[in-house]
Structure 1
Amino acid sequence: MINTADIFSINSEMEFEKIAFQVFKFQFENNTVYRSFCDLLYKNPSDITSLEDIPFLPIEFFKSHDILSSKKSIEKKFSSSGTTGSITSKHLITDLRVYEESFNEGFKQFYGRVEDYTILALLPSYLERDGSSLIYMVDALIKQTNKPKSGFYLDNLSELKDTLIELENKGEKVLLIGVSFALLDLVESHKFQLKNTIVMETGGMKGRRKELVREELHAILKEGFGIEEIHSEYGMTELLSQAYSKGHGIFECAKSMKIFTRDTEDALSILENNKTGGINIIDLANVNSCSFIATQDLGRVHNDGSFEIIGRFDNSDIRGCNLMAL
């Protein structure tokens, strides 16, 4: 068994690699779907000498199969958003404590103590369906703030406007996290000059508005909120770790996460840094499902390990967080 405490206390590339090899061996032996995929590629733990050698399971398998490396009973099923009639991804969770530790440690890594913030959530498209991992995370963070004004705002933009202004006048630290179309609705109804508020978008118009390139979206939001940068969160149903951007669309990973790019013509070939390709993710928090995932996002990885998303494969579903085509 993998000690999950080790996953969230990684402090070096060497430690990450060591634990990733352990997780790969564990999942190879305990995840029947992933084992079958590795067998098709003639890959087993004895063949793996670097992280790039590990097979990355296509993310579509989360739609068609139960991806499990644990024999424990399922505590929660997270599901992706999707258009009517489309097949959605499902992530079966056998230990919610791992997810909770993951998003708590990730938030602390990038933003410090959650108790220092009032968290205002404007996530109508997520609240309107069941099974959102984002809602689970934000709800847990809101509860941890112990602030009376923290909470979800569905369509009550006027109340949210008043709350933002009240907290701004009091000089309180605020995190406003919202889906793109709802944040645009808010700044169209009121212009702000915020000095103590972080505005974080989770991407996507969810069919409510025309899709915008990131630069255009962020320019509108920066002007509307009167702030210098728009933060972003990168996550998806199939992941239990998050990456965050504090501006310019440049994301940094939680300690439990690492990004690679693959050749768009040869899915098994990992590219050098600074080259555009398909995004592959190692998410060690996925210890009980699959930690090695080939996504449908396109992007590039920088030399310092940060990355940016530049679009999606043409034949993939438009869904999830920060999947705006650029």
Structure 2
Amino acid sequence: MECQKCKKSLSKKGSHFICQGPCQGTFHRNCVKGLAADMKAGKNRIYCNNCEEEEGSDDDEPDAEEDTCDLQKMLKDIQKKVGAIPELKVHLDVIKHSISLLSDKYDSLIKEHEQAKDKIAKLEKSSLNTTNRCVYLEKCNLALEQKLNEYEQSSRKLNIEIVGVEYLPNENVKDIVTKIGDEIGVSSHNIEWVKRSRPAKQGAKPSPIIIGFKASGVECRNKWLEKRRQMFEKSITSNMIIPGGSVNNRIYINEDLIPTTRALLWNAKKQLHGVCKYIWVTNGKILVKKAEGEKTIWLRSQSDISDLMK
């Protein structure tokens, strides 16, 4: 008997490999490729190399066909995706163009934003300068108004006013003033002029009588103001001074104040009531004192009243 592979005779005593496949051949063990490795691995080999290849080829046919179908499907998918590449390229170009436009627009917006920030900073600085300038001008204007008021008030430093005297047609104002002076014991020799401050209106309170003293009559003017307390003590009224008068108003002697100072005095008495114990006028200046022993404060404007109210 010979080996189906090498065609050499087989030893009668030797160990041989008998194929259980279609060939049913007998082989030297060395002539069966991979037999030693299979035996070493513990595998039970029943086919020779030829029968094993035929068996394997039959079993692989369905897998080969299946692999062919899978490859065709993959090829179709690849072709489909490759066919979509031009369209994707167009979309990418559109997107790229849009991004480019947006980038340019963004750069433009950033530039405009920076320019706006610079303008705002300049405007804020200009506004601050304008505000500071306005505050400065307001202070200058207030100081100027106070100076003008003080100057106008100083022009009346030789004047006083008498309030509450009834007005009668064809009155002799100088005689009325002289009679009032006699009542309180002061001289009328240094009086330079006398007049009603404004024409009397029908049904209205009689307008004050303004007395202007000579430049040398400062002491005389001050004497009139010192003696005005006697007007209260004696309760001197208008009908006591004017014979035949029908009005019994009480008569008062005050300093001759300009309208601004008079309004400030009225506001001070109204707004500082309960805040300042003493409010009075001396030489055209409105003075206040919160309490006995406190510092005397000169009110020049409404802001001074507001500060005291705080």
Using structure 2 for the length normalisation, give the TM-score: 0.24
Q: Relative CO higher for 1 or 2, CA cutoff 8 Å, sep ≥ 6?
A: 1
Greater strand proportion: 1
Greater helix proportion: 2
- The structure that has the greater radius of gyration is 2
